[in-house]
Amino acid sequence: MPRIIAPRLFNGDVRESIGHGLPPKIKSGLKLIAQKENKSVSWVLEEVIIDYFKFSTPKYKLRKNND
């Protein structure tokens, strides 16, 4: 089963690459969470940051084939 990447943002904003200078243990933890939830690491990281800072979740574009 392929991992699910973060959906496109509804407002059309493009996601930026912030680099991957994280310690190996942090990367490993993010990868484990991503595997468990069948998501990309970047999406997991986005959700962690949204939760930590209590940001409102952005609106996402729905996928045409919801499988």
The domain ranges of the chain are 24-53
In tens, the pLDDT along 36-59 reads 999 888 889 889 999 999 999 988
Model pTM score: 0.66
SS3 25: helix
In tens, the pLDDT along 2-42 reads 766 666 777 777 766 666 677 889 889 988 999 999 988 88
Report how far residue 13's alpha carbon sits from residue 26's, in angstroms, rounded to the nearest whole number.
Answer: 27
Identity of the amino acid at 62: L
Q: Which residues pair with 9 in a beta bridge?
A: 60
Q: Which long-range contacts (CB under 8 A, 24 or more apart) does 44-51 make?
A: 46/6
